[in-house]
A and B are shown apart, each in its own frame.
Chain A
Amino acid sequence: MDEIIVESPTAGDLPPTGQMLGLEPAEKPRSMFRRGLEVFVENRLAVVAFAVLVLYFLMCFLGPLVYHGNTSHVQMDEITLPPGPSHPLGTDQNGVDELGKLMKAGQISLEIGLASGILASVIGMLYGAIAGYVGGWVDAVMMRTIDALLSIPLIFGLIYLASTQGRTKTVFILVIALTSWFSLTRLTRGDTLTIKVRDYVAACRMMGGRSPRIIFRHILPNTIGTTIVNTSLSIANSVFALSVLSYIGLGLQAPNDDWGGMFANGSSYLDQNYWWMIYPPGVSIVLIIISCNFIGDALRDAFETRLQKR
């Protein structure tokens, strides 16, 4: 009746395999984001661009807490003053302080730009993944629809939507997002077509994983690099689209105008040479767009797996 005790070796008793063979302990594998970050930081231009964006955000959202310029009421004794000690960027035709206005307008430009840029990316990513994953005639119809929508010049689509749907922040976010998600869709669909035939997707399906799980847990995470790159370009695009709409007079109404609106207002006084009403908002738009483009380029080097250093 002896009990047989089988002693199983526990993990602690075994020497580490690597050490046994006389090897150094392996370096911890770096995550995709860690590797991406390293490549990104190497790109000086992108770091500068990122700093510009951060500075603009600080100026627009925290600036008004420190700097109190008149942005709300008409002051007839202070109209169209050039930049000076009391008004660092001068005043406009109503005596409104330009620096204060630049901050307020910047909030609107950046908010709408960010929101619609991100929304466009989400729509584009989902649409592309679904079209690519489902395939067949659904894919054909979905992609032909995009071809058709792409053949309407962006500005005409924007003008049409903005003029018919009333002008609130939400409408602008939706309108701009709805006209700018097509390019990401094509990229994501392409990625999806190559990912969905991989073994791990087949394995997931075999274990009973259903389509939504495959799309959200396996396909989309593998296309996220493309999406991140595209989002930064898409934000630049949205800031541009909003300023175009405001420039042609179809943007948000006067007290809530964005940089495009300020720029339009300033450039109507071009012949009087009130340069301080034109260049600050104009240069802000250009800087944001260029910065987002540089960041997008650097992110492409960092996250596109094909170009990645390993």
Chain B
Amino acid sequence: MTTYLIRRLFQSIVTLFIVSVATFGLMHLMPNGVARAMLGRNYNPQNLANLNHKLGLDKPLYVQYGHWLDRLALHFDLGYSYQRNQSVNDLMKEDLAQSIYIVGLALFFTIVLSVPLGVVQATRRNTVTDYTITTFSFIGYAIPVFFLGVVLRDLFQVQFHVIPIAKQIDSFHAAFSQPAQMILPVGTLVVSGVAGYSRYMRSSMLDEITQDYVRTAIAKGATKRRVLYGHVLRNAMIPMVTLIGLSLPTLVGGALLVEQIFNIQGIGVLTIQAATQNDFVIVLGTTMLTALVTVIGSLVADISYAALDPRVRLT
């Protein structure tokens, strides 16, 4: 186990290193460079030269990369937005909590709903129930998140007034104190999440049902119920752990659109605003942060997969 941990950790560090080179490289691919973008209308050659010097942009690239990595890795400093006169870390602190809240709720309900749905489909394989759920999950999977979100908003807020239209949700407190406002954004993410997860759960259950240990358990006289929930379900849950780790980027991406549709000021909307205002430092910061979360997510998923399933050979 220790060797596996060390090897996997090393891999993650290599991945993060490549991500950092890629993001840093992209920043310098920007037309006319960072300083030109920051100056905006105050651009003239003298100002540009001054700012380039002040930011250390006139030094060789590898020196700049060293400084950038040093700030990022040792102080977790994602940079400073000169347009907003605020550090990216501070900007994120204001918006991160409501984003995590939405993603967390969505993930929770997705799992709670898709596990039973998958089990029902697997135990009633090729019946009307199975086909109905399959059809719905196929549609749910193919509908883009933003379309689904707008349709739900139209139905519940505009046509039937089930949920009142609220002001912008701009703090964790606002999100937490208005549970009714969370139903639609979280619901949108859950619908598209359940569509995919329940399919995986179904095939994972079907894989386990055909295993030898199931036959053994039935042979020794265990009830169907006991075999299904005591043996099959527990094993079928293991692949879901990996799936959750791997689907983090999709979830984060979906949250970005949902924030935009339902007027929630979170990390996603911060990124979109920054991108439309050419404030690339913020976009880079959020990109780096989500990449970090993704790498950690898949690392944790792999480790817990290995810990949960003793059959996985750790080499």
Are A240 and B150 closer than 8 Å at their CB atoms?
no
Main secondary structure of the interface of A (DSSP, over half): helix
Residue of A nearest to B146 (CB): A247
> Taking the complex as formed, is B55 at the interface, i.e. its CB lies under 8 A from any CB of chain A?
no
Q: Residues of B contacting A267 with CB < 8 Å?
A: 150, 261
Kindly count the residue-residue contacts between A and B in the assembled complex, taking CB atoms under 8 Å apart: 130
Known contacts A163-B283, A166-B31, A248-B260; A153/B272 CB under 8 A? no
Main secondary structure of the interface of B (DSSP, over half): helix
- Bitwise interface map of A from 286 to 305 toward B, beta carbon under 8 Å scored 1, else 0: 10011001000000000000
- Tell me the complex Cα distance, A248–B150, Å: 13
Max chain B Cβ within 10 angstroms of own Cβ: one of A149, A240, A282: A282
Q: Residues of B contacting A271 with CB < 8 Å?
A: 158, 165
> Taking the complex as formed, is A8 at the interface, i.e. its CB lies under 8 A from any CB of chain B?
no
- Bitwise interface map of B from 259 to 276 toward A, beta carbon under 8 Å scored 1, else 0: 011000000000110011
- Bitwise interface map of B from 282 to 295 toward A, beta carbon under 8 Å scored 1, else 0: 01101100110011
Q: Residues of B contacting A148 with CB < 8 Å?
A: 14-19, 22
Query: In angstroms, how far is the closest chain A Cβ from the Cβ of B116?
Result: 26
> Taking the complex as formed, is B197 at the interface, i.e. its CB lies under 8 A from any CB of chain A?
no
Are A157 and B257 closer than 8 Å at their CB atoms?
no
Please provide the chain B residues from 241 to 261 with a CB less than 8 Å away from any CB of chain A in the complex: 249-250, 252-253, 256-257, 260-261
Are A151 and B147 closer than 8 Å at their CB atoms?
no
Stretch of B58-66, B72-80, B136-144, B305-313 on the interface side: B136-144
Q: Residues of B contacting A240 with CB < 8 Å?
A: 144
Q: Residues of B contacting A150 with CB < 8 Å?
A: 249
Are B15 and A147 closer than 8 Å at their CB atoms?
yes
Are A160 and B26 closer than 8 Å at their CB atoms?
yes
Interface residues of B, count at CB 8 A: 49
Known contacts A159-B272, A163-B278, A249-B272; A153/B250 CB under 8 A? yes
> Taking the complex as formed, is A51 at the interface, i.e. its CB lies under 8 A from any CB of chain B?
no
- Tell me the complex Cα distance, A78–B290, Å: 46
Residue of B nearest to A153 (CB): B249
Are B144 and A285 closer than 8 Å at their CB atoms?
yes
> Taking the complex as formed, is A79 at the interface, i.e. its CB lies under 8 A from any CB of chain B?
no
Q: From the candidates B249, B275, B286, name the one contacting A163 in the complex (CB within 8 A).
A: B275
Closest 10 CB pairs of A and B: A148-B18, A153-B249, A163-B275, A155-B253, A151-B294, A156-B287, A290-B142, A148-B15, A153-B253, A164-B30
Contacts beyond the supplied A160-B26, A273-B158: 13 A-B pairs with Cβ under 8 Å: A144-B15, A152-B287, A153-B253, A155-B257, A248-B256, A248-B260, A248-B272, A263-B146, A263-B147, A270-B150, A270-B153, A286-B142, A286-B144
